[in-house]
Amino acid sequence: MYRVEADSLEAYLNFDAGRKSDLVRLHQVIRKAAPGLKRYFHKGTPAGEAGMRMKMIGYGRFRYTIKSGSTIEWPVIGVALQKNYVSVYVAVTKAGAPIVKGYAGTLGELRSGHNNFSFERFDDLNVAAASSLFAAAAGVFAADPENPVRYMQGS
């Protein structure tokens, strides 16, 4: 598993100098499309606790409860460095389905999953489609802050 050794937003951005500009350019797109989602360093869940250990850049925050009763903090939009690409996670649904699915094939993505997509370089992205996705996700979250909670809890 690829691990980003960082303990702050600045350290995360500087972890891979070759992809820092991709993260900065993606941040500019997210900030413009979803200004209400504040950027932060998501440190992941500590070892020994339930949840994802992955560190990432988060935009907006919410909390949800897992079956064990533990509460997990998670970003509405998360951006994570992977070994060969950057993954973007979106924890919002639209019409009962993960919102990313409605954009699959239009983002210029390397691959797409239910609630995420990945790209190798920022220049591969369709910025207009990505902006639309980020704005839509922020709009859903602003109108219904419990939307990602229901999604993550599987309701």
| pLDDT (0 to 100) of residue 47 | 66
* Mean pLDDT computed over every residue of the chain: 92
Question: Average pLDDT of 100-110?
Answer: 96
Give the Cα separation of 44 and 126 in Å (integer): 29
- How does pLDDT run across 21-71, given as a tens digit for each residue? 999 999 999 999 999 999 999 998 766 665 667 899 999 999 988 888 888
pTM higher than 0.85:
yes
Q: Which helix (H) or strand (E) holds 129?
A: helix 127-143
